[in-house]
């Protein structure tokens, strides 16, 4: 509610407006009533509101992660449907302190200890967290001063969740105590350091690595930066998270044939004499999936349309042998290309321009890894940045 109130003033100052998105996880009997109450309060301060009810969430293992994924998916879809390019999230200083604590307990590296970023570049929009340095007591005081009510989620007090247990142990509901302040300050410092490191990593990638639409990369000769190499492996394997740099450090210092993080690394040969070829490990690829528009196979290739009815999208595999003359790429790489089959019969390999009896000229299948090798870089943000 505090974020919505502040966003309304900020947007008005920029000549725009704010849209309030209220997610109803449907995990508590009172959630629908609370969502309606919140939407009404938003409307009362001049903010158009939409309630986003979620379906399919049930209590059980991994509920927090499942709910988070469903929540963000719903929020992003609502933003895209309304033509919104920015999604503002209300994480505050106490949330940041808890995130840092959780990552410390999870033995996170320096990047993870930077906490949540103030700005995250997503494929279709940006996430902004302008309140990361603001204690929750100030947000409640702002609402109280304006005569605005809010809902306290009772599930935030349940000791069943690790974050809640850490919140109780911290004993700082106001978010103004020394532990919270120290954690937020440390996260901001590490965030600045992470931003510098990511900029250097991006420069290294730009100068040493070439990514190709067939889903492979070529690294020029010489030792590699471990963190940058981990980013390359994450991209080619379609992973959401990189391997820890220490797991790739030995290879980065002395490149050689190896299997790492779902990828094969081998000499690039004529593709780049003395360099390294990074391709998907065939044994680790995802089994075939239904070739529906928007489907993502193996975390790497997205089908945008054009597949015949009943088609399956999966690896070319052994069929690469009979298409060897269709490309100069290594055989091992051809096996990892995406292919369309109907009833087990190969009908199209778009990256090779191959089609059997099916016209594949309008098939749109693009290399679309889960996370790019490098993005906009880690960005910290303060409310002051909004004027």
Long-range pairs for 239-247: beta carbons < 8 A, 24 or more residues apart: 239/299, 239/370, 239/371, 240/299, 240/370, 240/371, 241/371, 244/109, 245/109
pLDDT for 59 beyond 80: yes
pLDDT for 367 beyond 60: yes
pLDDT for 16 beyond 90: no
> What is the b/e burial string over 275-285, where b = at least 16 CB atoms within 10 angstroms of the residue's CB?
bbbbbbbeeeb
pTM of the model: 0.74
Please report the pLDDT score of residue 357 as a whole number: 67
pLDDT band at 379 (very low <50, low <70, confident <90, very high): confident
DSSP assignments along 276-324, one per residue: EEEEE-GGGSPPPEE--TT-EETTTEEEEE-PPTT-EEEE-GGGGGGGG
Please report the pLDDT score of residue 355 as a whole number: 84
pLDDT tens per residue, range 238-273: 998 888 888 899 999 988 999 999 999 999 999 999
pLDDT tens per residue, range 90-141: 999 999 999 999 999 888 888 889 999 999 888 889 999 999 999 999 999 9
pLDDT tens per residue, range 175-207: 999 999 999 999 999 999 988 988 999 999 999
365's enclosing H/E stretch is strand 364-367
Within 10 angstroms of residue 201's Cβ, the number of other Cβ atoms is: 20
Averaged over 345-353, what is the pLDDT?
90
Please report the pLDDT score of residue 109 as a whole number: 80
Give 92: exposed, middle or buried? Use CB within 10 Å, 0-12, 13-18, 19+: buried
Question: How many angstroms separate the CA atoms of 225 and 79, rounded?
Answer: 37
pLDDT for 166 beyond 60: yes
Q: What is the number of H-type helices and E-type strands within the chain?
A: 10, 18
Question: How many angstroms separate the CA atoms of 218 and 21, rounded?
Answer: 43
The two tokens of residue 376 are: 């906009």
> Helices in the chain by DSSP H: which ranges?
2-13, 31-44, 63-81, 93-105, 136-146, 162-170, 178-208, 226-237, 245-253, 331-334
pLDDT for 22 beyond 50: yes
| Contacts with 190 (C-beta within 8 Å, 6 or more apart), sequence order | 110, 113, 114, 115
Please report the pLDDT score of residue 306 as a whole number: 77
pLDDT for 385 beyond 50: no
- Mean confidence (pLDDT) of the chain: 90
Please report the pLDDT score of residue 311 as a whole number: 92
The two tokens of residue 263 are: 């990828």
The two tokens of residue 10 are: 């900020």
> First and final CA of the chain: distance in angstroms?
19
Longest CA pairwise span in the chain (Å): 73
Question: How many angstroms separate the CA atoms of 182 and 174, rounded?
Answer: 14
Averaged over 312-322, what is the pLDDT?
94
Least-confidence region, from 52-66, 147-161, 287-301: 147-161
Please report the pLDDT score of residue 359 as a whole number: 66
């Amino acid at each position: 509610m505090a974020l919505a109130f502040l966003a309304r003033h900020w947007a008005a100052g920029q000549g725009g407006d704010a849209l309030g998105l209220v997610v109803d996880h449907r995990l508590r009997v009172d959630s629908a009533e609370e969502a309606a109450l919140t939407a009404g309060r938003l409307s009362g301060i001049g903010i158009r509101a939409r309630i986003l009810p979620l379906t399919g969430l049930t209590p059980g293992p991994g509920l927090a992660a499942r709910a988070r994924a469903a929540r963000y998916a719903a929020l992003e879809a609502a933003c895209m449907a309304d033509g919104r390019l920015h999604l503002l999230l209300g994480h505050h200083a106490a949330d940041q302190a808890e995130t840092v604590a959780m990552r410390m307990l999870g033995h996170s590296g320096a990047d993870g200890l930077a906490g949540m970023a103030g700005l995250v570049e997503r494929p279709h929009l940006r996430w902004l967290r302008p309140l990361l340095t603001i204690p929750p007591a100030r947000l409640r005081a702002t609402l109280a001063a304006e005569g605005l009510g809010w809902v306290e989620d009772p599930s935030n007090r349940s000791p069943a969740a690790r974050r809640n247990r850490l919140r109780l142990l911290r004993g700082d509901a106001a978010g103004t105590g020394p532990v919270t302040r120290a954690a937020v300050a440390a996260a901001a410092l590490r965030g600045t350091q992470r931003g510098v490191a990511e900029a250097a990593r991006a420069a290294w990638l730009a100068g040493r690595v070439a990514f190709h639409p067939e889903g492979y990369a070529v690294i020029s000769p010489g030792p590699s930066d471990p963190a940058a190499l981990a980013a390359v492996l994450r991209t080619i394997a379609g992973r959401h998270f990189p391997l820890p740099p220490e797991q790739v450090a030995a290879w980065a210092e002395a490149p050689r044939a190896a299997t790492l993080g779902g990828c094969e690394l081998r000499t690039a040969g004529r593709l780049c004499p003395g360099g390294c070829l990074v391709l998907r490990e065939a044994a680790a690829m995802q089994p075939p999936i239904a070739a529906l528009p928007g489907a993502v196979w193996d975390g790497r290739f997205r089908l945008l349309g054009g597949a015949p009815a009943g088609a399956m999208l999966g690896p070319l595999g052994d069929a690469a042998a009979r298409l060897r003359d269709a490309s100069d790429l290594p055989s091992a790489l051809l096996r990892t290309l995406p292919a369309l089959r109907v009833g087990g019969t190969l009908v199209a390999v778009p990256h090779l321009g191959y089609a059997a009896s099916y016209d594949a000229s309008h098939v749109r299948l693009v290399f679309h890894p889960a996370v790019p090798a490098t993005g906009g870089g880690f960005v910290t943000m303060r409310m002051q940045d909004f004027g």
